[in-house]
Amino acid sequence: MNYLIALFLMITFAKLFGMLAAKVSIPEVVGQIIGGIILGPSFLGLIHRQDVVISLAGLGAVILMFIAGLTCDVDRLKKYLVPGIVVALLGVVFPVGSIYLICRYFEVSIIESSFIGIVFAATSVSISVAVLDEMHELKSSAGVTILAAAVADDILSIVLLSVSIPILGIGRGHGNSDALFMIILQVVFFLFLWMCYRIFILLINVLDLNVQKAGTYSFLLCLFLSGTAEMVKLSAVIGAFFAGIIINQTKFKKPLVKNLKGVGGLMAVPIFFVSIGVEMQFSGIIRNGLMFVILTVLAVLTKFLGAFIGAKISRIDFANSVEIGAGMISRGEVGIVIAQAGLVSHFISTSYYSTLIAVIVVTTILAPLILKPIVAWKRKRESV
């Protein structure tokens, strides 16, 4: 399909179904994902993940996380960093362990069972951010904890992916030294982030920049750090988030947020959510129906319980712990990336791949539907 027509269809369906979702009090991102499902191979078959325009979806996630970093309350993020890490750790252990065991029950091989567990370790920080921002909950204590936990969660998941190939001993024949080298590179990347922070803040203070020039340099920093993160096998959204945190410390924060929300909301971010729906394949549900249902239930419950218990261990009150548990459910783009890596490396067969993608998309839709009433319940509880 002509890429301009594909672009037109994706933005139109995103806006239309997002508006319809809002009309019935459903988070807009759910409507946008449903729009993608309708456009994709499961229904109309007009858009396929091979289309050039799908590459813009990654830019949408990057812009979304850049804005999250820009608007984040950095002092609160530091305060809730340790609880976020505890939430992330338990939010990884619970799904990986339980999903591994249920896959073994279904007589899936040890290697495939291990990798399927890793697929569901990640949280889609981009989805959580979009829903929390829509509900003006991103700067709350629960919202900041979810943000910190989701970023830590993604890092843990990517590290698990990095070491899984040599440990499980199949795929492209990488050795243990390759995994160790990649982890060292990832550590170096975070040291590099600190250097970028010091250099960029110094330049901003020295150079007499207007908002337009500052915006250009800031977005270039975002693209550079996102690309660098991908080079060391981390998620691009991690680089984008920390680029936002760096710019957060400058006087250009507010005008940049306004401009980016306009550009991102117009095109890139809606395309990102539509692209998740495009990934949906009903063949995976039909082929492995029972497994699909059980994996979906486990993916939701184990992530919720792990995050909830992690929050309670960190002495966060009950209502906020429930919100944190709900905010960690979504899998989204990181789960899809890990599943694709598993397919390419022959960790998972094509028969299970489509089922995993279906579960990921369904959890991505369910998460905002679960999170929104919980936030409303928490607010009502706090107002009493």
Lowest mean per-residue pLDDT among 166-175, 261-270, 360-369: 166-175
Predicted pLDDT at 53? 66
Q: Do the Cβ atoms of 292 and 358 come closer than 8 Å? A: yes
- b (16+ CB within 10 A) / e for 30-39: bbbbbbbbbb
Contacts 24+ apart (CB under 8 A), 253-262: 253/70, 255/211, 255/215, 256/70, 256/211, 256/214, 256/215, 256/218, 257/67, 257/70, 257/71, 259/215, 260/63, 260/66, 260/67, 260/70, 260/219, 261/67
Q: How does pLDDT run across 7-28, given as a tens digit for each residue?
A: 888 889 988 998 998 888 787 8
How many angstroms separate the CA atoms of 345 and 67, rounded? 34
As a whole number, the mean pLDDT across the chain is 82
Q: Which domains does the chain have, with CATH numbers?
A: 3-383 (1.20.1530.20)
Q: How does pLDDT run across 113-170, given as a tens digit for each residue?
A: 888 888 888 887 777 777 788 788 888 888 889 888 887 887 787 777 766 655 655 4
193 pLDDT more than 50? yes
Within 10 angstroms of residue 315's Cβ, the number of other Cβ atoms is 8
How many angstroms separate the CA atoms of 264 and 239, rounded? 17
Confidence tier at 266 by pLDDT (50, 70, 90): low
Alpha-carbon distances, residue 259 vs 66, 223, 269 (angstroms): 12, 16, 14
Q: How does pLDDT run across 320-348, given as a tens digit for each residue?
A: 999 999 989 988 767 777 787 777 767 78
Lowest mean per-residue pLDDT among 95-99, 244-248, 272-276: 272-276
DSSP per residue, 268-307: IHHHHHHHHHHT--THHHHHTHHHHHHHHHHHHHHHHHHH
Confidence tier at 86 by pLDDT (50, 70, 90): very high
How many angstroms separate the CA atoms of 276 and 265, rounded? 16
Reduce the DSSP state of residue 347 to 3 states and report it: coil
Within 10 angstroms of residue 162's Cβ, the number of other Cβ atoms is 23
